[in-house]
């Protein structure tokens, strides 16, 4: 008989629902409430975090946009300050959560693999489940912290909203450099294509 449990459940959920865990990395998870749906993929968190972290002059970048197009613009980096804030907030949250773990992953692993503890009855099935869940949570937190640490180191290489807009308008080249010479010769538009009202 083969029973497959919900593949979307974490080890913590398996422990609560069925009383066991699986020692596979697929089940490792750490839950931190951020007011977004759990069904959203990981990368869908970034637009939300960018919106929450908007401040200063960044907030004015979206003033002229319609509400229904703002999410599309937030899928890409807004500004370096905005991305730095996101990275710092996520990393700080992970580090704060990790500080609550007083045991290393190797210590968790030793507890789980220690046959003497199991034989002497010092490692109950419930304790084994808790240790497995905590080890998985700690792994996930470390991975997320590393992802945002790496992203933080790449901030100088990202293209931000203002640069994308200037490219769209033809005011900078592909490498983000301003055109040299007379700017009016570099802009290609026709005054005839502009709408004219009767009042003009």
Assigned domain for 133 exists: yes
**pLDDT at 115 (0 to 100):** 63
- What is the rounded CA–CA span in Å between residue 112 and residue 132? 7
Assigned domain for 175 exists: yes
Assigned domain for 57 exists: yes
Out of 5, 18, 108, 160, which one is annotated catalytic?
Answer: 5
pLDDT digits (tens, 9 = 90+) for 114-132: 666 666 666 677 877 888 8
pLDDT at 191 over 60: no
Q: In the predicted model, what is the mean pLDDT of the chain?
A: 73
**CATH number of the domain where residue 158 is located:** 3.90.1420.10
Which range marks the domain in which residue 77 is found? 38-179
pLDDT digits (tens, 9 = 90+) for 141-155: 999 999 999 999 999
For 2-11, 69-78, 127-136, 179-188, which range has the lowest pLDDT when averaged over its residues?
A: 179-188
Assigned domain for 5 exists: no
- What is the rounded CA–CA span in Å between residue 176 and residue 116? 63
pLDDT digits (tens, 9 = 90+) for 65-112: 555 566 677 788 888 998 999 999 999 999 999 999 888 777 777 766
Assigned domain for 87 exists: yes
Let me know if 5 is a catalytic residue.
yes
Contacts of 12 (CB under 8 A, 6+ apart): 29, 31, 133, 137
Stretch 12-19: mean pLDDT, rounded?
A: 82
Assigned domain for 189 exists: no
Helices then strands, counting H and E runs in the chain, come out as 9, 0
Assigned domain for 7 exists: no
Contacts of 197 (CB under 8 A, 6+ apart): none
**pLDDT at 113 (0 to 100):** 66
Assigned domain for 63 exists: yes
Q: Are 154 and 77 in contact (CB under 8 A)?
A: no
Q: How many C-beta neighbours within 10 Å does residue 136 have?
A: 25
Task: Please give the backbone phi and psi of residue 32, each rounded to the nearest 5 degrees, phi first.
Answer: -135, 125
Number of domains in the chain: 1
- The pTM for the full model equals 0.58
The two three-digit tokens of residue 190, written as one number: 């026709």
- What is the rounded CA–CA span in Å between residue 90 and residue 94? 6
What is the torsion angle, in degrees rounded to the nearest 10, for the CA atoms of residue 188, residue 191, residue 192 and residue 197?
Answer: 140
């Amino acid at each position: 008989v083969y029973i497959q449990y919900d593949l979307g459940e974490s080890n913590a959920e398996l422990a609560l629902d069925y009383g066991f865990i699986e020692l596979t990395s697929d089940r490792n998870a750490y839950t931190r409430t951020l007011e977004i749906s759990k069904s959203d993929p990981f990368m869908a968190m970034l637009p939300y975090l960018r919106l929450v972290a908007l401040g200063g002059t960044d907030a004015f970048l979206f003033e002229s946009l319609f509400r229904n197009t703002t999410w599309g613009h937030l899928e890409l980096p807004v500004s370096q300050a905005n991305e730095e804030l996101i990275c710092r907030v996520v990393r700080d949250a992970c580090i704060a959560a990790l500080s609550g773990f007083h045991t290393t992953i190797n210590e968790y692993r030793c507890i789980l693999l220690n046959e003497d503890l199991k034989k002497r009855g010092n490692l109950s099935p419930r304790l084994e489940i808790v240790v497995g869940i905590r080890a998985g949570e700690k792994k996930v937190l470390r991975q997320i912290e590393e992802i945002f640490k790496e992203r933080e180191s790449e901030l100088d290489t990202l293209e931000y909203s203002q640069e994308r807009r200037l490219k769209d308008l033809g005011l900078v080249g592909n490498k983000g450099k301003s055109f040299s010479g007379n700017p009016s010769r570099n802009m290609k538009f026709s005054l005839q294509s502009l709408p004219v009202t009767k009042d003009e």
